[in-house]
Amino acid sequence: MVKPAPLHLPRILCLHGGGVNGSIFQSQTRMLTARLSRHFRFIFVEAPFLCDPDPAIIPIYGDEGPFRRWLRWLPEHPMLDLETISADIRRSLVSAMDEDDEEAGGYGPWVGLLGFSQGAKIAASMLYTQQLLRETLGEEEAAATFQFAVVMAGRAPLVVMDTRLEPPFGVVDLSHSSPEFIGVPEGLAKEGPHLLQAPTIHVHGMKDPALHYHRMMIERYCAPNTARLLEWEGGHRLPIKTEDVEPVTSEIIDLARELGIIQDDEDE
Tens-level pLDDT at each residue, the chain (268 residues): 345 667 789 999 999 999 999 999 999 999 999 999 999 999 999 999 999 999 999 999 999 999 999 998 877 888 888 999 999 999 999 999 999 988 767 689 999 999 999 999 999 999 999 999 999 887 666 555 899 999 999 999 999 999 999 999 999 998 876 554 555 677 788 889 999 999 999 999 999 999 999 999 999 999 999 999 999 999 999 999 999 999 999 999 999 999 999 986 555 4
Helix (H, G, I), strand (E, B) or coil at 63: coil
Is 236 tagged catalytic? yes
Give Cα 131 distance to the centre of its chain.
15
Rounded CA separation 86/19 (Å): 19
What CATH number did the domain enclosing 131 receive?
3.40.50.1820
Indicate whether 1 belongs to any domain: no
Indicate whether 2 belongs to any domain: no
- Can you give the residue range of the structural domain that contains 114? 11-258
Rounded CA separation 89/74 (Å): 18
Indicate whether 264 belongs to any domain: no
Is 214 tagged catalytic? no
* Active-site residue, from 39, 54, 86, 117: 117
Is 117 tagged catalytic? yes
Contact 73, 38 (CB under 8 A): no
- In this prediction the pTM is 0.93
Indicate whether 171 belongs to any domain: yes
Indicate whether 50 belongs to any domain: yes
* Active-site residue, from 162, 208, 214, 244: 208
Q: How many residues does the chain have?
A: 268
Indicate whether 6 belongs to any domain: no
* Active-site residue, from 27, 52, 236, 250: 236
What total of structural domains would you count in the chain?
A: 1
Indicate whether 137 belongs to any domain: yes
- Cα 109 to Cα 7, 41, 181, 261: the distances in Å are 10, 10, 32, 9
Contact 158, 221 (CB under 8 A): yes
Indicate whether 249 belongs to any domain: yes
